[in-house]
Structures are given as structure tokens and as C-alpha cells.
Amino acid sequence: MKLTDTAHMYNVQQKILVAVDCIIFGFDTQNLKLLLFKRKVDPFKGDWSLIGAFVKGNLSINDAAKQILFETTGLKDIYLDELKTYSDYNRDPGDRVISIAHYSLISINDFDIEKVEEFDAKWFNLDEIPDLVLDHNQMVKDAVNRLRKKVKHQPIGFNLLPEYFTLPKLQRLYESIYQRELDSRNFRKKILSQNILIKTDKKDKSESKKGAFLYCFDKDKFDILKTKGYNFDI
Amino acid sequence: MKLTDTAHMYNVQQKILVAVDCIIFGFDTQNLKLLLFKRKVDPFKGDWSLIGAFVKGNLSINDAAKQILFETTGLKDIYLDELKTYSDYNRDPGDRVISIAHYSLISINDFDIEKVEEFDAKWFNLDEIPDLVLDHNQMVKDAVNRLRKKVKHQPIGFNLLPEYFTLPKLQRLYESIYQRELDSRNFRKKILSQNILIKTDKKDKSESKKGAFLYCFDKDKFDILKTKGYNFDI
DNA sequence: ACAAAAGTGTTTGATCTACACCCATGG
DNA sequence: CCATGGGTGTAGATCAAACACTTTTGT
């Protein structure tokens, strides 16, 4: 029986459960982290898991992902990107389910801590991810790789920082994504040459006595780069 | 009603039709082309369309895509990559359908012409794509953009050429993907410096009196680059 | 002998890398 | 006054871009 033979018969086709799982990255000024949840139900009740839900109603997949994020973190309008589809026939023993994984980048201070606690959620360092249900460890691995690649070509890293931030913090963010140290002189040269940062005259003295200047994005130039892509091959 | 509330009840969830649509790229020694099909059924019977099918049985999405390609072109083991999911609620007036688009690269001389004709299929130049059903024009646009990006960082372009090929042909392939002319001296320097080509002592004289040397891939080095990624920023 | 495509190197500017010291401040 | 992290510049290497002529051979 060919797949393409019956392409015309909508009504004799199999319908399938469609889920969205979210890999939520955050940054706590030192480390890139991942938000994980205690699974509430069988199978695998109580195990650590990505947050996810079945797609229903008239939501697009992307809208479903946005809504999951809102329900779990209270955040709207955050960076969210489709990762890939996970569809092995037996990936979920509960039923045949395909899952379209999404990853998102949030500023770790912004989210609604009460909502997160309500969900039995916890932030994990990337090198301390526990065993997760189903194929969620693979999703995480894929998401980390995707993030590392993407951050080289598009200025999405900023989504992990609050509105105002210092260059040393931005550097630590990139270091925690790339998992290696960067030379601060080269880093500053490179990032400043992109012309997407606006220096303020305020300083953040929480990390040093001298204090570091706070910067914010030049939203307009940032948007241009976001669509065009760039090379930030640190 | 929250999405995340009912995450635990497999049996009360909506099941959805899941399709795969394939953007099939080919190269005919001059131009990058796309394989399009006459839709066989309502709605939109007779219109041009990507080839697709509903996912069923115990196939993963990727296996379904592979099988569609085999059924339409007779080709196995060809380059195939997930593009993205299309899931607007009303994208298909026949029913709610989400489609996971895949793109693939095939050597235009390899495929089974009888199979393709059996399917009422035709190769189109990229600048002559007709109106397609549903959101298939958007899929094509997204696939072309993805291909342009991907070909800069991974040596996937070779999948569009036969086993033995000349450097001028390879250059024309890249030119047709990038849609701009390349300097042949710089092109040869760059591509040869990757050390993934093996020069044979045979010449292809079909395009010139002098003839151009035939090359093939160094499969081993090629595979290493394929996973590592590289920069082919022409 | 000539038309048509294949093949080949060099120079210039831009970019990346490696590297070490002074500054400002709170305690 | 000193410990801590913030901030700055330069020289050498590597890489990308621009550019034009010679070679081969079928007709």
C-alpha cells in the first residue's frame, strides 16, 4: 500500500495525537540553565520532563507553544523557535504521539516564580540534566546544539538577558553557551562593532567595585540583523 | 481552559491529521529546479502542488517522507531534511491538517522518469514556480531560504550532482543556488582547499572542446565535514 | 585560425587571534 | 592601600575579494 495512493481521501486517514514540548533556556548571570518539570501523570509520573501539552482547538503549533510558555512562566512575547519533530512510532508508550519540540530563551529574572513553582519546576545546569522521560534528553541535546549554532548567526542570545545588562554579563552568557572562555578584548570589539548596543551612563556595581556600564539593544538595528542574519563567529 | 491542565489524559485529546509535504530540488546542469505535481483530488484538483501524503501506520515522519520520495522518484538514500511544521488551523479546507514539510536534494539525472511521469510531475525553474495549492508557495520560499543558508555551512550541494562532475558544473550549481555569479578562480581555490574532492584523469567534453576534468567526492572527508559543518561563505 | 570554455596567481584590504596592563572603587 | 573586576590597543597571521591572461581543441 503506497502512502501517495490514498492522498486524496481525507476521511480514511489516521489521525494522530500531536504534542508540543518546550525546551526552556534561561541564564542566571553565570550559567545557561534549563527549566524542567515533574511529570504529573502516568506513564512516568514523577519523573523529570520537559513541559508539553497536546495540541487542540484551533491553535497553530506555534501558538500552542506560546501558550504553554505563558501558562508555565507567565511570559509572553518571548523568543520561541521550532526545533524539530519527534515521531518514532513507539516514542510514547501511552499512545502514538508525535511531538514538535520548540525551544525558547527567557530572561531568568523575568518569569513568574509562583507559576513555575505551581508546576513543580526547577532550573538545571546544562551539565546536570537528569534522566528525562521519553526522548526528552535527545530533544535537549538537539536544542543545545541548535542554540549554539544559531547564536553564531543571529543575535538571539540577548533574549536571555534583562533589558539592561553589562558587557561582562553578556560575555558570560556567550561563554556559557559555547562552553569555553572568551577573550574580553576581542569579545567587546566584536560585539560593539555590530552597532546594536546602546551604552547608558548607568553602572551596575553588583559585581564589582568599579561597576560596569549598562547597555541595552538598539531595537531597530537589532531587528534588521535578526532577519538578515550575521556572523558572530566567536 | 489551559493546554497544560489536561496533559495527563491521553484519551480525551484531539487527534489530528498529519501530513508530510516534500520540496524536491534538482539541478539540470544549468538551473536549480523544483519538482511539482498536479494535485489529483479535491479540493484544488488539477492545481500544481508539492507532493505529500498523510502519515499513517507505524512510520516516523522522516520515514514517511523517505517513502514518498521513493514512490515518486524511485530514489532511496537521498538527502532529506526536515524544514518546518505548517499548522494554521485553516490551512487546508479539507480538514484540519498539520504538515511537516521536508526538502530533499536529488541528482536530476538519477530519478526514474517513468515514475515521475506517472505522477503528472514537472520540473520548474525557481523563478517560474506557479501558484500552488494551500500554503505550498510559502513552503517553497522557506525551503529555498533554508537551502541557501545550509549550503554555506554544510557540503550538501553535492547531493544535487551525479557521482562524477566537473568544477564548472559545481560552480554553476552554487551560482544557481545563490542566484549570483561567482569568480571561478576564487571558487576553485575555496572548494579545493576543503580537500573533499578527488580529481580523476577523465574529462567531460560535452560542454567544451578543451573538456573539464571530472571529480568525485572523498566520501570519508566529506562525512567528517558533513557532521562538523564548515564555512563555505562564497 | 578562431571561438569557446577550462584553468591558473597575485596583490590588497579586512578580519581574527593572541596577548598585558592600567583604572576605579569599596572595604 | 589593596583586592577585585572593568576597561582598553596593537602587531602578526589568516582569509576574502578583485582582477586578466594562457591553454586546449573541435570546427
In a domain, B10, yes or no: no
Q: Which residue is nearest to nucleotide C23 (CA to C1')?
A: A210
Q: Sign of the CA dihedral A100, A101, A107, A113? A: positive
Nearest alpha-carbon partner for A20 in A57, A59, A61: A61
- According to the model, what pLDDT value does residue A1 have? 65
What is the per-residue pLDDT for B115?
78
- What is the pLDDT, as a whole number, of residue A6? 58
In the chain, the amino acid numbered A8 is: H
Three-state secondary structure of A195-234 = CCEEEEEEEECCCCCCCEEEEEECHHHHHHHHHHCCCCCC
- B85–A53 C-beta distance less than 8 A: no
Window A:92-131, CB contacts with B under 8 Å: 94-98, 100, 119
Q: Same domain for A71 and A180?
A: no
Q: What are phi and psi of A42, to 5 degrees?
A: -75, 150
- Of A209, A197, A128, the C-alpha closest to A164 is A197
pLDDT score of B21:
98
- Note the pLDDT of residue B43: 86
Of B4, B10, B58, the CB nearest to A95: B10
Contacts of B77 (CB under 8 A, 6+ apart): none
Question: Do B84 and B115 belong together in one domain?
Answer: yes
Q: Quick check: is A71 in a domain?
A: yes
SS3 B24: strand
pLDDT at B50: 97
Q: What is the pLDDT of residue B209?
A: 96
Does residue A110 register a pLDDT over 80? no
Residues of B numbered 139-168 whose beta carbons fall under 8 angstroms of chain A's beta carbons: which are they? 149
Q: Find residues 27-56 of chain A whose CB sits inside 8 Å of chain B.
A: 40-42, 51-56
Whether B124 maps to a domain, the answer reads yes
- Can you give the pLDDT at residue A145? 93
The reply to whether B8 falls in a domain is no
Could you tell me which residue, A91 or B223, shows the higher pLDDT?
A: A91
The reply to whether B145 and B87 lie within a common domain is yes
Kindly state whether residues A216 and A106 are assigned to the same domain.
no
User: What are the residue ranges in chain B where pLDDT is below 50?
Assistant: none
Residue A170 CB contacts under 8 Å (≥ 6 apart), including other chains: A157, A158, A161, A191, A215
| DSSP codes of every residue in B56-74 | -TT--HHHHHHHHHHHHH-
Question: Which residues on adjacent β-strands are paired with residue B156?
Answer: none
Q: In this structure, are A102 and A125 located in the same domain?
A: yes
Q: Which of B118, B153, B188 is the last residue of a domain?
A: B153
Cα gap B232→B137, rounded to integer Å:
28
Question: What integer pLDDT is reported at residue A153 of this predicted model?
Answer: 86
For A140-188, write each residue's pLDDT tens digit: 999 999 999 999 888 888 999 999 999 999 999 999 999 999 999 999 9
Residues A140 and A86 in one domain: yes
Residues A21 and A60 grouped into a single domain: yes
Residue holding cell 484540519?
B96
Which of A122, A153, A184 terminates a domain? The answer is A153
Q: Are B126 and B103 in contact (CB under 8 A)?
A: no
Domain boundary among A135, A153, A171: A153
Is there a single domain that holds both residue B37 and residue B84? yes
Residue A201: the pLDDT is 95
**Has residue A5 been placed in a domain?**
no
Query: What pLDDT does B182 receive?
Result: 96
Asked if B85 lies within 8 A of A56 by C-beta distance, the reply is no
The answer as to whether A29 is a domain residue is yes
CATH of the domain at A77: 3.90.79.10
Q: Among all residues of chain B, which has the CA nearest to that of A54?
A: B7
Are residues B140 and B28 part of one domain? Answer: yes
Instruction: Compute the Cα dihedral for A89, A94, A100, A102 and give only its sign.
Output: negative
Is the CB of residue B54 less than 8 Å from the CB of residue B19? yes
**How many structural domains does chain B have?**
2
In a domain, B7, yes or no: no
pLDDT digit string, tens, across residues A30-85: 899 999 999 888 788 999 999 999 999 999 999 999 999 999 888 888 999 999 99
**Which chain A residues are closer than 8 Å to B53 by Cβ?**
3-4, 6-7
A89:B58 CB<8 A: yes
The pLDDT of residue B7 is 52
The enclosing domain of A190 has a CATH number of 1.10.10.10
Pairwise CA distance, residues A124 & A37, whole Å:
10
Task: Domain of residue A67: give its range.
Answer: 17-153
Distance CA B58, CA A88 (A): 8
The pLDDT, as a whole number, for residue A159 is: 92
Average pLDDT score over chain A: 90
User: Are residues A125 and A192 both part of a single domain?
Assistant: no
Chain A residue with CA closest to B67: the answer is A3
In this prediction, residue A112 carries a pLDDT of: 75
Distance B196 CA to C9 C1' (A): 22
Nearest C-alpha in B relative to A2: B71
Give the closest residue to D6 (Cα–C1′): A212
Nucleotide nearest to B211 (CA to C1'): C6
Which residues lie across from A104 on neighbouring strands? A24, A80
Considering the domain boundaries, does residue A4 fall inside one?
no
Together in a domain, A117 and A189: no
Residues B173 and B130 both lie in one domain: no
Instruction: Report the b/e string of B194-206 with b at 16+ CB within 10 A.
Output: eebbeeeeeeeee
Neighbours of B228 (CB within 10 A): 9
